[in-house]
Amino acid sequence: MERKEEILELLERGYATAKELASYFDVSLMTIYRDLRELEEEGKIVRRYGRIELSRKHHLQEDEEKCAFCGKDVDNRFGFTYWLKGRRKLSTCCPHCGLLIYDSVEEKEIDVLLTKDFITCSPINAYEAWYVLGCNISPCCRPSAFAFGEKEHAESFAKGFSGAVMEFDEAKEKMKELMKRGQSVRFEL
C-alpha cells in the first residue's frame, strides 16, 4: 500500500499530526509534509492549526442509516438522498444537513437529488422544492429546515410556525450563513 493511502487510514483511526505520522513511518517531517501537501492538493485532507483532518469530501459517510453530514440516524420521511455516479448513495437525516452537505459533494457527481415533502412524505426533486428556514420548531438539526413540493404549502407552514420561504439555492446559502459562528442573520418576511 502506498504511504499516502496509509496516511488516510491512519487519520481515520485518530492520528492527527505530522509528527505522529513521521514517527509511525519512521521518516523525516519533510517527507511527511511532502505527502500531506500532495494529499491537500488532491482535496483529501485539510490542515488546521497544526492538526490534519480528512476533508469532508473524502470523509462523507456512504451509509444509508447514518446522516452523511452529522452522523445521526436517517429518518426516511424527512432527509435528502444524493444519488451519485456509480450508483453510490448519500443520505442525510434532514433538509438542514442536506443543504449543508451540498457544497461538499462534487456537483458533477450528483445524478439525482431527492428530498421528501414535509406534509406528504412523497419524494420530490430537491432542486425544485421550497424550503422554510428559521422556523420556531425543529424536529432534527438546528437551525431547522423543512422541504415542500408546493410553494403555497411552504408559505402556510411559515405563517403558522414562522420562518422564511425560499428556493434551493437561496436556502443552501442562507443555511451556510446561519451556521457561521457569531454571525447574526435577519430574515425579511
State the Cα–Cα distance between residues 91 and 180, nearest whole angstrom: 23
CATH 1.10.10.10 location in the chain: 3-58
Report the predicted TM-score, pTM, of the whole model to 2 decimal places. Answer: 0.66
pLDDT digits over 73-85, tens only? Answer: 888 888 999 998 8
State the Cα–Cα distance between residues 154 and 119, nearest whole angstrom: 10
Cell matching residue 54: 480528512
Residue 132 has pLDDT above 90, yes or no: yes
| Complete DSSP assignment for 109-123 | GEEEEEEE-TTT--E
Residue 183 has pLDDT above 50, yes or no: no
Average pLDDT over residues 94-108: 90
**CATH number, domain 3-58:** 1.10.10.10
User: Which residue from 124, 171, 115, 117 is spatially nearest to 148, judged by alpha carbons?
Assistant: 117
> Sheet of 88-91: strands edge to edge?
88-91, 81-84, 110-116, 123-125
> Can you tell me whether residue 89 is helix, strand or coil?
strand
Residue 51 has pLDDT above 80, yes or no: yes
